[in-house]
Amino acid sequence: MIVYNKRLPKEFAILRIRYKKLKAEYDELKEQLKQNYIKNESSLKIKTENIHRKDNTKTMKTFFKGKRLDNGEWVEGNSLGPSFDSNYYIVTYVIGNHQVCGECACPFDCDDLYEVDPATVGQFTGFKDKNGTKIFKGDITELVLDDGEIRHFIVDIKTVTRTIVSHSAFDDATTKVEITGVVFLWNGFELFPCVDSKGISDVSKMKVVGNVHDNKVI
């Protein structure tokens, strides 16, 4: 025997209203993203190298990493932020040059777009450690010196002031310059990568052991 529940029509009506409201919000956000891309296409051109398609595969040189808000995992790719909704996202790869998503007309597949904590977004330095791991801003690296001492460095990208020896034709023996690049922070010092007498960089002897977001103390 079927028992008629008088509450069902009312609950169904409430769910229907909620659905219509969420659908309207979704359509509005979708249109905002579409219009934002159309108006600001140049600002959304992603800085990337080696984008190509071969045998239906898609590859990209990564430039940033960030920590996903939904599950805390790290993702690498291009950084979009702040975007149309003032949030930061990481795109893990690009589907060719300016091919658009069928859902919202953005220039990538939305399945590969992840919202990340903006405080965790770090730029790729261009360096890799001795194990071939990419080194990003905010990473912590470990270096074992020849005497066995172990040092840990925080990786940063910034502008620092240095005093250097002037050209022999200049009046002053030294001068101060500003240098922008990758620095390794250690004991209050801002250190540039050094090269030994054999031409081997300190970076090639380092290994990534964590980052400032997951490892407050190492």
CA distance linking residue 25 with residue 89, whole number of Å: 20
Percent with pLDDT over 70 in the chain: 66
Correct CATH for 126-211 of 1.10.3470, 2.30.30, 3.30.1050, 3.40.960: 2.30.30
Per-residue exposure over 161-173, b if at least 16 CB sit within 10 Å of its own CB, e if not: eeeeeeeeeeeee
pLDDT in tens, 73-108: 998 887 776 655 567 777 665 444 444 444 444 555
Predicted confidence band of residue 53 (pLDDT cuts 50, 70, 90) = very low
pLDDT of residue 34: 64
pLDDT in tens, 102-149: 444 455 556 667 888 889 999 999 999 999 999 999 999 999 998 999
Sketch the domain layout of the chain as residue ranges: 41-120, 126-211
Pairing state of beta strands 150-165 and 139-144?
antiparallel
Name the 3-class secondary structure at 95: coil
Burial of 71 (0-12, 13-18, 19+ CB in 10 A): exposed
For 98, which DSSP code? Answer: T
